[in-house]
Amino acid sequence: MPRGRRATTGPPGATAEPGAGRFYMISVVSKAYGIHPQTLRLYEREGLLKPSRTDGNTRLYSEEDLRQLEVILNLTRELGVNLAGVEIVLNMRRKMEQMQEEVSEFVAWVRQELARAAQEGWQERLQEALVRLPPTPLARAATPAAVVPPRPATGSAG
């Protein structure tokens, strides 16, 4: 298998829980991606990967963990990013995904409100809600200040 690519079929050592997708043991993942198991443990220690554990404390890597691993390997192998940089990039990606979700929720809410307003005849309600006021001057006329004549200069005798 090419280095850095995961198998498309379920390799031996993969387990499946009902409704939870497939999970892979550390030995299977390390062979599939051509990395040492200690590297995977390091990524976990650094907080870059968070595999689940069995009752016997065996690491199980989910499909999401494998996608995260592929990003980590791409950053380190292809782009030369160190682990501190990988952590920053992953945090930024997480924040961007969260912000995208929030923007999507907001856009959906705006669309829903616009649709509701269109059904309720918002233009008529707006006209009824407006109160007509007479125009007011925006700026007051300036009042002339008292003009004080300049004092004559006093000469000093020298």
Cα 77 from Cα 34, distance rounded (Å): 12
Q: What is the pLDDT of residues 2-20, one digit of tens each?
A: 444 444 444 555 555 544 6
pTM of the model: 0.60
Say which residue the tokens 């309600």 belong to: 125
**Whether residues 44 and 25 fall in one domain:** yes
The Cα 143–Cα 135 span in angstroms is 22
64 and 18 both lie in a single domain: yes
In a shared domain, residues 59 and 97:
no
**Amino acid in position 44:** E
pLDDT of residue 120: 77
Of residues 19 and 68, which shows the higher confidence score? 68
Domain that holds residue 113: 93-121
pLDDT digit string, tens, across residues 13-65: 555 554 468 999 999 999 999 999 999 999 999 999 999 999 999 999 999 99
